[in-house]
Amino acid sequence: MIPPTTAQWIIECGNAKTKQPQPHRATLNTSTFDSLKLQKDVAIPPLQPNECLIKVLAVSLNYRDIAIPLEKFPSPARSSYVPTSDGAGIVVAVGDQVTLHRVGDKVCTLFTQHHQKGLFKIAMKKSFLGSNVGGPLRQYAVYTETGLVQVPQSMSLIEASTLPCAALTAWNALFGLEGRKVSPGDWVLAQGTGGVSLFAAQLALAAGAKVIQTTSSDFKGEKVKTLGVHHIINYKTDASWGATAKTLTGDEGIAHVIDVGGEETITQSFAAVKEEGVISVVGFLGNPDGQSNPDLFGKIFGQVAIVRGIDIGSREQFVAVCKFMERHGNRPIVDERVFGFEEAKEAFGYLREQRFMGKVVIRVADDDN
Ligand SMILES: NC(=O)c1ccc[n+]([C@@H]2O[C@H](COP(=O)([O-])OP(=O)(O)OC[C@H]3O[C@@H](n4cnc5c(N)ncnc54)[C@H](OP(=O)(O)O)[C@@H]3O)[C@@H](O)[C@H]2O)c1
């Protein structure tokens, strides 16, 4: 039966307590997520012919989900919106013209709803979930059929909820540039042990590449070793970790660098990359204050490498990474703590503390398999 209403979390824009960057705290702190509010009994809109209603089972968090309410991320001015970028659930109703999904299908949301295939276009940003288009942090949500992708059979919905941004971004970085797809024997440098970098490590290893992973935590480093990565470098204790990575390759250099730190890490990425290698500029975790790196242009010009900005990926690529993971038996790494729907603020705070490993997931409903 189709419910008339849903509960949902919303973010009220402009209500964040401060625009100043927040220091990382030793204990869980959720007070800055005051702009996150739980609404009950929100009417579900009638289905259009090409739309599906999904019962959301799980949502995974991405750094942008906390960066937007902390006002560290450019987002369109709206009075309020349903946050989060990734979700997985079950189709409970379909419009008359839907052909891609049936009632009962398990599906993931597509982050860039309008990016179906081919190259990314800036205009597609208006279809980003969890900002421009309402995200899945709600019990029921309506999306266009092309904005949903079938969940890999081998995965639970908790696991599948981690795929839409992080796995697709890692896939795009490693396989998205024609002529530069990761190949067996290539060296890959994945920075940190967050969602994108762990997927990058898994995908690269499955493709026969060799992986160097950085982390600020020796404890996390030990856990990552179990994935089969070849070397771990602690980027807090090794100030020249980019050069160290290159040395570990026998001075060959890194074919694919997954750069998540932006301005703070790009210089080290240049120290690590090989000639004509690819640095995928994915994130901005190391640039909380927005300082610029004045030397950047000289580095790009002097290094002879490909520096490629990444914006998630297309539906076609999402289908491809799901198939690849199925074929190679890859399972997403979900942090040991999974939050309840009512604990969304705690989950956002937990992500901010960076004590997790892999993906932080909110279980929206209990009937996952
Ligand atoms: N361009 C795109 O399409 C795209 C898509 C997804 C994400 N992103 C961006 O990519 C970045 C990573 O996303 P994510 O989802 O993987 O984040 P995440 O899951 O929140 O990852 C956080 C981890 O990154 C590592 N880290 C933090 N600061 C670092 C630094 N200065 N240098 C190196 N590593 C650092 C830490 O690993 P340790 O704890 O091991 O030190 C931390 O635990 C974010 O900025 C996000 O907004 C971009």
Q: Which two tokens stand for residue 54?
A: 């999904």
- pLDDT, tens digit, 9 for 90 and up, residues 214-260: 999 999 999 999 999 999 999 999 999 999 999 999 999 999 999 99
> 5-162+332-363 with 168-309: one CATH topology?
no
Domain boundaries, the chain: 5-162+332-363, 168-309
Per the CATH hierarchy, to which homologous superfamily does domain 5-162+332-363 belong?
Medium-chain alcohol dehydrogenases, catalytic domain (3.90.180.10)
101 lines ligand 1 (CB under 6 A): no
Higher pLDDT, 171 or 283: 171
The reply to whether ligand 1 has any atom less than 6 angstroms from the CB of 264 is yes
Is the distance from the beta carbon of residue 192 to the nearest atom of ligand 1 less than 6 Å? yes
Helices (H) and strands (E) in the chain, counts: 10, 16
Q: Name the residue of 238, 285, 355 to mutate for ligand 1: max ligand atoms within 8 A of Cβ.
A: 285
Can you give 281-293 as a three-state secondary structure string? Answer: ECCCCCCCCCCCC
CA 95 – ligand 1 centroid, Å: 38
pLDDT of 17 reads 43
- Ligand 1, atom 9, lies closest to the CA of 283
Does the beta carbon of 281 lie inside 6 Å of ligand 1? no
The pLDDT of residue 21 is above 70: no
Q: Is the CB of 310 under 6 A from ligand 1?
A: yes
The dihedrals phi and psi of 348, each to the nearest 5 degrees, come to -60, -40
Q: Is the pLDDT of residue 13 over 80?
A: no
**Pocket lining: 288 vs ligand 1, CB cutoff 6 Å:** no
pLDDT digits (tens, 9 = 90+) for 183-194: 999 999 999 999
| Rounded average pLDDT over 37-53 | 97
Structure tokens at 216: 């600020």
Beta strands 5-12 and 36-43: pairing type? antiparallel
Instruction: Ligand 1, residue 354: give the atom nearest the CA.
Output: 43
DSSP-assigned states of every residue in 184-237: TT-EEEE-SSSHHHHHHHHHHHHTT-EEEEEES-HHHHHHHHTTT-SEEEETTT
User: Residue 260 is which amino acid?
Assistant: V
Tokens of 355: 């004590």
For residue 304, the model assigns a pLDDT of: 79
Distance CA 245, CA 241 (A): 6
Distance CA 215, CA 312 (A): 22
Quote the pLDDT of residue 18: 41
Asked whether 347 lines ligand 1 (CB < 6 A), one says no
Using the mean position of ligand 1's atoms as its centre, give its distance from the Cα of residue 125 in Å: 20
Q: Which CATH number fits domain 168-309: 3.20.20.10, 3.40.190.290, 3.40.50.720, 1.10.30.50?
A: 3.40.50.720
Backbone angles phi and psi of 355, in degrees to 5: -95, -5
Q: Which of the four pLDDT bands, split at 50, 70 and 90, describes residue 101? A: very high
Q: Please indicate whether residue 91, judged by its CB atom, sits closer than 6 Å to ligand 1.
A: no
Per-residue pLDDT tens over the stretch 114-170: 999 999 999 999 999 999 899 999 999 999 999 999 999 999 999 999 999 999 999
What is the reported pLDDT for 286? Answer: 79
DSSP annotation of 248: H
Do residues 67 and 84 make contact, with C-beta atoms less than 8 angstroms apart? Answer: no
Calculate Rg over the CA atoms of the chain: 20
Atom of ligand 1 nearest to the CA of 67: 47
Residue 89 near ligand 1, beta carbon < 6 Å: no
Residue 206: CB partners within 8 Å, gap ≥ 6? 324, 325, 328, 330
Q: How far is 341 from 337, CA to CA, in rounded Å?
A: 13
- Assess whether the C-beta atom of 165 lies below 6 angstroms from ligand 1: yes
